[in-house]
Each structure stands twice: as structure tokens, then as C-alpha cells.
Chain A
Amino acid sequence: DIVMTQSPDSLAVSLGERATINCKSSQSVLYNSNNKNYLAWYQQKPGQPPKLLIYWASTRESGVPDRFSGSGSGTDFTLTISSLQAEDVAVYYCQQYYNTPSFTFGPGTKVDIK
């Protein structure tokens, strides 16, 4: 199985400031034939199900604010919230879907307001 790790475990950022979350996979999730990274990001607010934010590592899901962006390739990925808003307080998970059907998630990163 591909193991996903995330850093930091948690972070506190001031409103309007940038938040950066890192995700690393134990092997590449880049599929060379189509040059796509099989990596997604989800947001989970307390008491709610996860919500898809980003897929193919950098494609924003419809309706997701453009302050959320994804980057990276191969084994190293980043989710950036360019200007943190109060409603962005949540746990963020990365997930690989390269090695399907053995989908694996990262352990999550908790984002709070400083």
C-alpha cells in the first residue's frame, strides 16, 4: 500500500494569512501515460463529512473558493490556503487514488485560527 504522510499535524494561522499543508506519498502517484497525479485534498469540518477540494493534485472542485490551491508532483504535494478565513477551520486530508482500489488517506492536518 502507498503510505501517505502529512505535515504539520496542526497549525494556527491568523485570519487573512497563508496556511500551507504538506503531503508526501511513499511512492510516486504520477501516472506517466496521462501525466496526472492521482492525489486529492479534502476538508472536514467538525460533525460534517469530508468535502472534496482538489483533485488531480491541482484541479479545484466546482464551487471551491480560489483561495484554495494544490501543487506538487510525484511524491510531494502542498495545499495552500492563500488568505485564511474563519470558515476554513477544519481538518484537511490528502488521499492517493493511484493504487486503486487501495485508496489511502493521510492522517490529517488540523487548521485553527491564531
Chain B
Amino acid sequence: EVQLVESGGHLVQPGGSLRLSCAASGFTFSTYWMTWVRQAPGKGLEWVANIRPDGNEKSYAESMKGRFTISRDNAKNTLYLQMSSLRAEDTAVYYCGREGLLLGAFDIWGHGTMVTVSS
């Protein structure tokens, strides 16, 4: 079964750091672009970052540049999101997603992990 499972979300103080993980299974992880999307409570979807299959090209939404770092370990079939200088407005469910090979769109999503930034 094709699956993405996120972990690592929890309560963190403003200014703190957190690393999220996304474990992939059921497909050849190393051949896909991967992405992070977030959703603040009661709000819409916001793209965060993506990464090329070999990990050598990364892109970020403007508001995350310099604070978030996306990475991957193809040997472990795992995607990461290192977040630092966290703000209250970063509070959200963070989803990892697979960018479909011939689709362009995000065809597989994990169930998400909740990050709460609060003192």
C-alpha cells in the first residue's frame, strides 16, 4: 500500500525549533519530488516546500525561507522538515505529499502532524 506517515509535531515555544519526519512506503521514494503543505486551524492549504528526487534542488514558500529546511534520506525513505524560529502563525497541521510523476499535482498525502507554537 502506498503510504506517507508524518511524525514529530508537538507543542513548541515561540522561537523554538522542531523537525518533522515523513516515512514513505509502497513506492519508489527516490524517484519522486516530495512536498510539505500546511493547514492552520480552520484555514485553507498553504504550500511550504518541495525537494527534487535526488535532494539537490529545494524550494520554499517566501514566508518560510531562511527558517525552514526540507531534506530527504532516500536510503531511509524519509522526508524531513526542519523548522526554526517558530512563530505562532506557524501553528498548523503539516502534511507531506508526493508529486505525481506524470500528474504534476499531489497524488498521495499523509494524515498530517500537528505543530502548535505557543508559550
Q: Give A residues with C-beta under 8 Å from B.
A: 38, 40, 42, 44, 48-52, 55-56, 61, 93, 95, 97, 100-108
Contact = CB atoms under 8 A, between A and B. Distances in A.
B50 A50 contact: no
Chain A: interface secondary structure? loop
A73 to B, nearest CB: 16
Contacts, number: 61
Given A55-B100, A105-B44, A50 B95 contact: yes
B111 A49 contact: yes
Given A49-B112, A50-B95, A105 B47 contact: yes
A70 B105 CA distance: 14
Interface residues of B, number: 20
Contacts of B95: 49-50
Interface string B43-72: 011110010000000010100000000000
A38 B102 CA distance: 12
Nearest to A91: B44
Contacts of A44: 45
B47 A55 contact: no
Most buried by A among B45, B50, B95, B106: B45
B89 interface: no
A89 B117 CA distance: 31
Given A50-B95, A55-B100, A101 B109 contact: no
10 contacts: A48-B111, A49-B111, A49-B112, A50-B45, A50-B106, A50-B109, A55-B105, A55-B107, A101-B47, A105-B47
Contact of A101 (B37, B46, B59, B100): B59
